[in-house]
Amino acid sequence: MAKKIYLLRHGLTESNKKKIYAGWSDECLCKEGVSALLEIERKIKEFNIERIFSSPIRRAIQTAEVINSFLNKKIEIEKNLKEMKMGPWEGLSEDEVAKSFPSEWKIWNLRPSELKIDGRETLEEVQIRALNGIRRIAEDLDRSRILAITHVSIIRVLMIYYNNWYLDDYRKIDVPNATCYLLDNKSQKKKVLRVL
């Protein structure tokens, strides 16, 4: 089993800047997003990454390509690393969601684990999918350091699971773009901690 899995949130996009729920849309990184990744590339190189996995969504793949420009590894796609399916919220800003879905918005901010909307994944569904993805990529017995490029929802639900937090803490967890977190599988008590 992989001993260290580094979780990297994709670089900044225009939707991130405007607080728009991008969900599964295939948006590219903005110029600032690429620049921020170039600033952390040397630090990531120090992790001695042996394998790279990416969400199939364009902004994650583009992040993987920028990071891989100095690692020179094969980028492998892991569908379970993709962002939360946002359903009717996809493409809307937080203000638009608050206006169009006031009762759901209130639940999302107070008790996000209880939010259920047709066409949108629940936090529990996202967490189960994320754990399946992490378990699949961690099965590699020959590689001990893996980089997984993913999205805010995946990192949050994994932090909640491995740090023994509550799903309702979801909205309180800050995961900026181009930040990296370590899931350390060496210890008995697995934790997810920010390293960049």
pLDDT score at 86: 98
Q: What are phi and psi of 148, to 5 degrees?
A: -120, 115
Homologous superfamily (CATH) for 4-83+125-194? Phosphoglycerate mutase-like (3.40.50.1240)
Give the Cα separation of 181 and 157 in Å (integer). 13
What does 16-83 look like in DSSP terms, one character per residue?
Answer: HHHTB--TT--PPPPHHHHHHHHHHHHHHHTT---EEEE-SSHHHHHHHHHHHHHH---EEE-GGGSP
Determine contact, residues 53/138, Cβ cutoff 8 Å.
no
| Residue 3, pLDDT above cutoff 90 | no
Closest CA relative to residue 104, chosen from 119, 175, 152: 119
- Rounded distance between C-alpha atoms, residue 193 and residue 196, angstroms: 9
| pLDDT (tens digit per residue) in 13-41 | 999 999 999 999 999 999 999 999 999 98
Which pLDDT belongs to residue 143?
66
Per-residue b or e along 54-63, where b marks 16 or more CB atoms closer than 10 Å to that residue's CB: bbebebbbbb
**Across the chain, what does the average pLDDT equal?**
94
Q: How much helix, strand and coil, in percent to the nearest 5, is found in the chain?
A: 45, 15, 40
CA neighbor of 108 nearest in space, from 65, 59, 154, 172 = 172
Give the DSSP per-residue string, 115-137.
Answer: ---TTS--HHHHHHHHHHHHHHH
Q: Is the pLDDT of residue 184 over 80?
A: no
Amino acid at 32: E
Any idea where the domains of the chain sit in the sequence? 4-83+125-194
Model confidence at 172: pLDDT above 90: yes
Which residue type occupies 137? I
Please state whether 164 falls in left (phi above 0), alpha (psi between -120 and 50) or beta. Answer: left
- Cα-based angle 146, 150, 155 (whole degrees, multiple of 5): 90
- 79, pLDDT greater than 60: yes
